[in-house]
């Protein structure tokens, strides 16, 4: 981060032992006994609402029944057949607003079956063996370029490899993983799990990973179309929205995604600087992840400021509650006006907002928060627009199969129009695009 020498932003606010405890696994894994007990709570519903609520349509009652009978390998296969990144999704998926919210036990008792933790139990057990549950079909001779090694690209590449196609997987960064590696809170995916999952996924064979290759910088769509039979774009959203508030150029002000990426790649968290008074502007998962981790690193005060009410925040209520439980203050109905300081941030001025007849409006009432570090988490944009592809709402326009406006190019994940910007949704879109590409090859 460029602001590490900004006064007030220092490393070592907590010692190494405290940091290990603070960044421990958010949801410790279930033991075999705990998994059997948790599985026994499932009603194994016919036409289960949890399956409908899962973007990857995993047969949840089936894999839970398999866990309950001790058939853990079969449970893992049920999951991986639909979601090859089932291990990561079990850790980061907002199950509280998806499958577990739809659980019949939740409706009846207010306590759903622990679907996410059961999914982790099964997938971790299988990955620990090092063995894939799929083998490649006969080689087809078809070659596909997958650009972007995030959740969508990885899911697409794996499914294509299973069908016998050869895949070259490109990514702009120095390692694969996308948001799973660079953009998710460290306490959700401990122990280097993101890279371990990628290594396991690539062991299927037929996938060549090339890092440091960015679309538009030595890698063109025209070149890829000429060299490959099909192209899938899972390039994510590399740009960040500007705050458009006076003072956003001051030291100590930076996008939350950069802070999270630095934290995820840090070998020693005690060397990572953090402010004494941190303000995070935004209302989504990125805002919560940045705020909670700032507090865990030792910031004295951390405040999330969001311009609308609690119910409008894209971060789930569970995530908001997690933030407040960790000591983060959430201020609703507040929009930034300016950041002040002598070369470096010292204070953020906000105006209270309200919902008016014509939408959100300022009330004219001002308040200020001390801040030596300000993280902006107000959304991301498509960084480099792929030439020749139709866009919609600032994203690559796709149909229900992931097809773009160009016949040989598919897309999915955050860069494309589709469902929610979630890891599990990206996996579904990458998987479904791979099936579409496979059908096209006949």
Domain co-membership, 284 together with 265: yes
Domain co-membership, 183 together with 309: no
Domain co-membership, 249 together with 278: yes
Looking at the 3D structure of the chain, how many domains does it have?
Answer: 3
Of 347, 376, 405, the one marking the end of a domain is 376
Question: Is 101 inside any structural domain?
Answer: yes
Domain co-membership, 296 together with 286: yes
Domain co-membership, 359 together with 299: yes
Question: Is 221 inside any structural domain?
Answer: yes
Domain co-membership, 336 together with 255: yes
DSSP labels for 303-352?
Answer: EEE-SS-GGG-SS-HHHHHHHHHTT-EEE-SEEEEEEE-SSB--EEEEEE
Structural domain harbouring 262: 16-23+240-376
Domain co-membership, 125 together with 173: no
Cβ atoms of 84 and 124 within 8 Å: the answer is: no
Domain co-membership, 286 together with 345: yes
The predicted model scores a pTM of 0.95
Domain co-membership, 300 together with 408: no
Question: Is 191 inside any structural domain?
Answer: yes
- Provide the residue-wise pLDDT of the chain in tens; the chain has 442 residues: 444 447 789 999 999 999 999 999 999 999 999 999 999 999 999 899 999 999 999 999 999 999 999 999 999 999 999 999 999 999 999 999 999 999 999 999 999 999 999 999 999 999 999 999 989 999 999 999 999 999 999 999 999 999 999 999 999 999 999 999 999 999 999 999 999 999 999 999 999 999 999 998 889 999 999 999 999 999 999 889 999 899 999 999 999 999 999 999 999 999 999 999 999 999 999 999 999 999 999 999 999 999 999 999 999 999 999 999 999 999 999 999 999 999 999 999 999 999 999 999 999 999 999 999 999 999 999 987 788 999 999 999 999 999 999 999 999 999 999 877 899 999 999 999 999 999 999 8
Question: Is 138 inside any structural domain?
Answer: no
Question: Is 211 inside any structural domain?
Answer: yes
Question: Is 2 inside any structural domain?
Answer: no
DSSP state of 150: S
Domain co-membership, 258 together with 233: no
Of 329, 361, 376, the one marking the end of a domain is 376
Domain co-membership, 212 together with 313: no
Question: Is 6 inside any structural domain?
Answer: no
CATH number at residue 81: 1.10.1060.10
Domain co-membership, 389 together with 405: yes
Helices 32-39 and 115-129 cross at an angle (nearest 10°) of 140
Question: Is 104 inside any structural domain?
Answer: yes
CATH number at residue 188: 3.50.50.60
Q: Phi and psi dihedrals of 232, rounded to 5?
A: -120, 130
Cβ atoms of 169 and 176 within 8 Å: the answer is: yes
């Amino acid at each position: 981060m460029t602001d590490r020498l900004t006064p007030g932003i220092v490393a070592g606010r907590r010692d190494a032992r405290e940091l290990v405890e603070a960044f421990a696994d958010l949801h410790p894994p279930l033991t075999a006994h705990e998994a059997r007990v948790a599985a026994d709570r499932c009603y194994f519903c016919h036409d289960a609402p949890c399956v409908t609520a899962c973007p990857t349509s995993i047969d949840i009652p089936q894999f839970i029944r398999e866990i309950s009978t001790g058939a853990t390998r079969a449970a893992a296969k049920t999951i991986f057949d639909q979601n090859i990144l089932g291990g990561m999704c079990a850790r980061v998926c907002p199950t509280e607003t998806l499958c577990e919210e739809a659980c019949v036990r939740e409706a009846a008792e207010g306590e759903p079956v622990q679907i996410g933790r059961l999914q982790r139990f099964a997938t971790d057990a299988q990955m620990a063996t090092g063995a894939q549950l799929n083998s490649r079909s006969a080689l087809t001779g078809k070659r596909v370029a997958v650009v972007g090694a995030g959740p969508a690209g990885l899911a697409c590449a794996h499914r294509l490899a299973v069908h016998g196609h050869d895949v070259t997987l490109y990514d702009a960064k120095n390692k694969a993983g996308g948001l799973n590696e660079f953009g998710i809170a460290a306490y959700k995916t401990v122990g280097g799990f993101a890279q371990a999952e990628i290594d396991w996924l690539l062991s299927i064979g037929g996938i060549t990973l090339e890092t440091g290759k960015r679309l538009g910088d030595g890698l063109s769509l025209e070149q890829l179309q000429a060299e490959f039979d099909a192209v899938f774009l899972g390039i994510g959203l590399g740009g960040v929205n500007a705050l458009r508030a006076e003072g956003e150029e001051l030291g100590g002000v930076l996008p939350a995604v950069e802070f999270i990426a630095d934290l995820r790649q840090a070998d020693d968290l005690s060397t990572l600087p953090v402010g004494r008074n941190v303000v995070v502007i935004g209302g989504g998962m990125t805002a919560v992840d940045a705020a909670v981790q700032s507090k865990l690193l030792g910031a004295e005060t951390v405040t999330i400021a969001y311009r609308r009410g609690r119910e409008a925040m894209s971060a789930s209520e569970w995530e908001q509650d997690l933030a407040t439980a960790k000591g983060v203050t959430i201020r609703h109905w507040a929009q930034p006006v300016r950041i002040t300081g002598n070369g470096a941030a010292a204070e953020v001025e906000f105006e209270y907002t309200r919902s008016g007849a014509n939408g959100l409006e300022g009330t004219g009432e001002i308040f200020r928060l001390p801040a030596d570090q300000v993280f902006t988490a107000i959304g991301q944009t498509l960084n480099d627009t792929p030439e020749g592809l139709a866009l919609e709402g600032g994203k690559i326009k796709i149909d229900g199969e992931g097809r773009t406006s160009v016949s040989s190019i598919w897309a999915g994940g955050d860069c494309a129009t589709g469902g929610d910007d979630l890891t599990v949704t990206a996996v579904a879109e990458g998987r479904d695009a791979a099936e579409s590409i496979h059908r096209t090859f006949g």
